Amino acid sequence: MRGIEVTADDLVRRAVIQALSCHFELSMEAIGIAHLIDFRSYSLRTGELREYAKDGLVELDGDWIVVTPRGRLLVRILCMVFDKYLRQASRRASYSKVI
């Protein structure tokens, strides 16, 4: 057998990254309902997005995370906030550079 076991946490993170990178917006409520979680208390490191919001790359509006037109060119960087495997030193070399 080959492959990687996908956890429930991986599925949540995949949905978040996919929504932001494909649609440039994310409904926290929709993700919470789909995955039976409380999005705001789930450990997705959304606090890091506040720095990007200060730079005008995302808007944190109620239950929505919206990538601004200015942030669309850097959406891959914004999505890295939610990638827990990127932060692990052993996996860092397997990702390509953004810029």
Q: Tell me the CATH number at 42.
A: 1.10.10.920
Residue 56 falls within a domain, yes or no?
A: yes
Which three-class secondary structure state does DSSP give residue 52?
A: helix
- The pLDDT confidence band at residue 98, using thresholds 50, 70 and 90, is low
Which pLDDT value is given to residue 47? Answer: 77
pLDDT tens for each residue of 27-83: 999 999 999 999 888 877 777 888 999 999 999 988 999 999 999 999 999 999 898
DSSP string, 22-75: HHSEEEHHHHHHHHTS-TTTSSS-GGGHHHHHHTTSEEEETTEEEE-TTTGGGH
Residue 58's domain spans which residues? 8-84
Which pLDDT value is given to residue 46? Answer: 74
* Number of domains the chain is built from: 1
* Averaged pLDDT, 74-96: 76
Which three-class secondary structure state does DSSP give residue 89?
A: coil
Which pLDDT value is given to residue 94? Answer: 56
pTM of the shown model: 0.82
